[in-house]
Chains A and B, each alone.
Chain A
């Protein structure tokens, strides 16, 4: 705690407000990190990570580095994690962790490398705590008209080469991504774009220009099982879906023509005497229509 807060502009002593901020934000950041590891849902994981990043940003601000804090929020929380979310959403919302091991020996390797990384981190960070004396922000900050100009001055003088190299790396990555993305659309380009496709279609490349006819003006039903009817009353052959045509049609049991309840499939006894009270002529037509539509295509 002492070591972490020593960079504060106030000097070596940790102020009360800073300690409070640390003891609130620190556990939240840690909880976010654990939540990210243990959450089953990928989007929940991402949200936990966002929480960690936000608390880190707030911690930076509390330690007298407002620029770093807000850039952390804008760049990492705002842009990088948003891209993560973008990809996760495309992956589907119910894609949880799979426990099936696809790569052989993956877990053992992950364990080894994980432990190795942990040892490395503990060694370096521990050494930083023990041996290195922190210079504090006071050296760079107050001489240079506050935090922001100080960072700018360092970035564009002392660390210019590293800065430019990083930007070159990022540009290379962006170009690589573009090349990869455009490679997949080459098939589309070969077809010549929208105009060429329209012309080919008009010349009869796919035999038909217009979409297949739907049930249309003369139809008596809007089911896909009912073919479209041409103006002269004949059936439009194009409107028949092949899969329906191929499906065997089983004749449905004919419902009692005078009783709409027959369509619900409840037993006759349950219906009791109510069926007889229904008017005769009014239901007959609709029940008949329903039965023909239900049995599929009739020619």
Chain B
């Protein structure tokens, strides 16, 4: 990693001093029609991925729950979300009486637009030629690209918060409050986890960060940052198990309880596009963007094949989103906040400190890196040995439970009867009972008929 990285850093340094990197030069050279084509392509990609994701999520979760999932509309049910979307557009648009009309209207728009804007800085692939025009599969490469994504996510949450507030009913308001607190907390963890990446890449530009991973993905080099980022990105997108702003069991539908029709569809769209954005961001920052891993690295020469690799990695993260939703129960709110503030933020800070120390040690050139690594390894081994040698804390014996009152409680050794047998009996009984019910119903209807005829 050392030699290649230093060389790379020097090369970017030279390029930067000339003013622009190769990516920026190519992008600055784009004609207007190509820019428009890219914009439309990005929008189409967002919408398509949303339609795909909804279906995929339903199918995967269904498989996890041993049921078929949507299988009616289109081949294997893959057009179900398209049909749902069309139906949603034609539904009645309800404006609650207590709603703040203007803000109620603008909230879904606020939540959708930043979701798509964040797409523009993501480097989807390498250098390609579109209709003979050499370019890069990226709309724009800003020197502060990572900040654009953070800014978009922090504006997008306004949609949720304002939508919940403007609905004029208590559940959405509670959801909006939760969402505000949640996004502020997890944005800090997210931002801190990116710091180490920026430090190693030496740039905030997304294309530069991908290029810096040619010698090794940051997902391997900076494991703690990667873990914190993945956890924080789930919290940032309000997805299970952190979907407290739309907890069905507590808040009806959450912030969009009062929304219907296209406005609701926009919220839905924004949520899924945000998922795609953060997954693409994780790919960019930690999994080397569109770079193929070692045995397949000869494929990197083609920009379109890089695009394929990028999509594959993004789908990996999207699958993790679905997996989490199918597996984990929702957090309680205080647990969620504790995880954010007492685990993720301190962990990130400590990790950044370690990274800074290592960098400073290397840059100052006061010693050999391998010596440092060996020392660290010995210290770690010693710590682990001590940790294993120290005996576990003695758990105090559970004290004899004395009943505090004569309030009736079940005995502690209460044996729960085996549920298998009664169920089998119920199944065996079922046909008989059903027959009996049918005769009763028939009797009832015949008796009313009799009464009618008597009258």
Contacts and interface: CB of A to CB of B under 8 A. Distances in A.
Interface in A177-192: none
Interface string A117-156: 0000000000000000000000000000111100000000
B390 interface: no
Contacts of B337: none
Interface of A: 41, 43-44, 47, 50, 54, 66-67, 70-71, 73-74, 77-79, 82-83, 85-86, 89-90, 93, 145-148, 199, 202-204, 209
Given A146-B16, A148-B144, A74 B151 contact: yes
Q: Report the 7 A-B pairs with minimum CB-CB distance, sorted nearest first.
A: A78-B154, A202-B404, A70-B147, A73-B151, A203-B404, A145-B16, A66-B144
Interface string B1-45: 000000000000100110000000000000000000000000000
Interface string B379-417: 000000000000000000000000011010000000000
Interface in B123-147: 142-144, 147
A233 B351 CA distance: 68
A74 B168 contact: no
B195 interface: no
B176 interface: yes
B204 interface: yes
Interface stretch (B178-186, B257-265, B437-445): B178-186
Interface of B: 13, 16-17, 100, 103, 142-144, 147-148, 150-151, 154-155, 157-158, 161-162, 165, 168, 173, 176-177, 180-181, 183-184, 187, 203-204, 404-405, 407
A47 B159 CA distance: 12
Given A85-B161, A89-B173, A202 B142 contact: no
B151 A67 contact: no
A202 to B, nearest CB: 4
Contacts of B150: 70, 74, 78
B157 A82 contact: yes
13 contacts: A50-B158, A67-B143, A67-B204, A78-B154, A78-B155, A78-B187, A79-B154, A82-B154, A82-B158, A86-B177, A86-B181, A148-B144, A148-B203
B319 to A, nearest CB: 29
Nearest to A50: B158
A43 B147 contact: no
Contacts of A146: 16, 143
A138 B165 CA distance: 45
Contacts of A78: 150-151, 154-155, 157, 187
